[in-house]
Amino acid sequence: MKSKNKPGLSTMQLARLSLFQGCLGCLAVIFAGMLNRVMISELAFPALLVGGGLAFEQLMAPSRVLFGNISDSWPIKGKRRTPYIWLGSAGFCFMAVLSIPLIFFTETALKQGNWLSISYSSIALCSLFALYGLFISMATTPYLALVIDLTDEEERPKAVGVIWCMLTVGIVIGAIAISSTTRGLDGVSDPLLLKPALQNFMTWVAAIVFIIAIIAVWGIEPKNLTQIDKSFANNDQVGLKKAWGIVTSSPQIIIFFCFLILYTLGLFLQDPILESYGAEVFSLPISKTTLLNAYWGIGTLVGLLIGGLWVTSRFGKIATARIGCWMIIGSLSLLILTGISGSSKGLYLVMLLFGFAAGIATNSALSLMLDLTLPQVAGTFVGIWGLAQALSRALGKLLGGGLLDIGRFISGSNNPLTAFSFVFLLEILVMLMAIFVLQKVNVNQFKDETNTKLQNMLLNELE
């Protein structure tokens, strides 16, 4: 039964709203996949520099808490979420276009070997990725809070399932688009040929993404949303300090925060080196390594659907998350075994299974995340969970590249499989730690503690 205090989402609105998440998936595969591979394999960037640059995107994660609370407390023309979504979208699309010339400027500096130029260009590249991450935080935190605003507890799992499926669809579409448009660049490492092709591609993608971002949320958020639910009446007075007091009122938040960090790190530690793994161990060209993300995305999509429609409801959220984590461990083990066999077809199959495992685990983790969120300060809580995920993805990008360099140093430059396997084995260890922390999560305890804190706070306001 639909809550009287929630405006609800029609099927068409939900489909339109999910387009924004699809755009994020498309951009993610471009940055973490194509550009990452081009910088490492075609332009010979140090893997640590590439991982560090991409990590700066995620190091802006603390701003998610701030943007979440700002969107909770500072509406613009009666709307809390939409203006921030649009401003953030304009920012990250602009940064995406600027990334191409800056990458090739850095390549020139590295080739010349001038340490002053290398330092300046590296700082500029990391700064650009940091600004990109800042604008992503500005857009995505209010976006997820808007989903919570417009749905009740019964509608929310369906809405989140559709939205995250669209994220995966965006990854698949982005991977296929990259594969088809870069087919003519297979074997090309000349910057004079790569730069104009990539610049043209990124400009078109950024323009399309921005237009879709505007369409996705246009007119969906009603004005003065807080008036829809009288229990939100004090939301304007719940500033960052008070919201933080609610957040820190339950030890369960710290436990789940740690789980999200370990889980996301265990899922994405291989992310910055995956396409290079296909290039160096399996000798695959750009158009083929990009398809690894497509297979991973298809598997994730299937896993999300099966997890949401059957597995989670049958086994429970925590048990399903545990099953998904063990499946991820198995997939990482198969990645190593496939490298030993040298079968590129086997690699694509493993990525499909890896995606399926990720979908199963992610569906249950997202459901737990929503259960551990108070609607009265949804933006702040979404910012907290986004912070955990972004920090771990930042560590994954940084450590993935850095650990690969360490693996290469230990094994020697003539044995790339050992270097990549070193990263995969450490990723398995992190996922085992996530499974251990997951056993400590208790949703009922969280609700009791945070609701008590919120009620006490509101009572104090009335005294």
pLDDT tens digits for range 260-291? 899 999 998 888 788 889 999 998 987 788 78
**CATH code for the domain in which residue 26 is found:** 1.20.1250.20
Confidence of residue 183 (pLDDT cuts 50, 70, 90): confident
Place of tokens 């690699």: 347
Residue at 230 is within a domain? no
Residue 463 counted as domain residue: no
Residues 97-116, mean pLDDT to the nearest whole number: 85
Domain annotation covers residue 232: no
Provide φ and ψ at 3, rounded to 5°.
Answer: -70, 140
pLDDT in tens, 392-443: 877 777 788 788 888 888 887 678 999 999 999 999 999 999 999 999 988 7
pLDDT value for 242? 61
User: Which residues are paired to 79 by β-bridges?
Assistant: 76
- Which run of H or of E encompasses 391? helix 378-411
| Predicted local confidence at residue 153, as pLDDT | 60
Residue 15's alpha-carbon distances to 111, 168, 174, 232, in angstroms, are 47, 14, 18, 27
Q: Are the beta carbons of 345 and 295 closer than 8 angstroms?
A: no
Tell me whether residue 152 is in a domain.
Answer: yes
- Tens digits of per-residue pLDDT, 315-366? 888 999 999 999 999 999 999 999 999 899 999 999 999 999 998 998 888 8
pLDDT at 227 over 50: no
Residues with Cβ within 8 Å of 284's Cβ and at least 6 positions away in sequence, in order, are: 278, 344
d(CA 237, CA 243): 10
Q: What is the pLDDT of residue 308?
A: 74
- What is the band of 229 on the pLDDT scale with cuts at 50, 70, 90? very low
Task: State how far the Cα of 361 lies from the Cα of 437, in Å rounded to an integer.
Answer: 15
pLDDT score recorded for residue 237: 45
Would you mind telling me the total number of residues written for the chain in this entry?
A: 463
Cα separation values, 192 from 82, 101, 120, Å: 40, 11, 22
Q: Is 2 inside a domain boundary?
A: no
What is the rounded distance in angstroms from the CA atom of residue 31 to the CA atom of residue 99?
9
- Contact status, residue 170 vs residue 392, Cβ threshold 8 Å: no
Total count of domains within the chain: 1
Residue-range definition of the domain harbouring residue 304: 11-225+240-458
pLDDT of residue 232: 42
The overall average pLDDT reported for the chain is 81
| Per-residue confidence (pLDDT) for residue 45, from 0 to 100 | 82
d(C-alpha 89, C-alpha 95), whole Å: 10
Predicted local distance difference test score (pLDDT) of residue 154: 61
For residue 52, is it within any domain? yes
164 part of a folded domain? yes
Q: Does residue 277 fall inside a structural domain?
A: yes
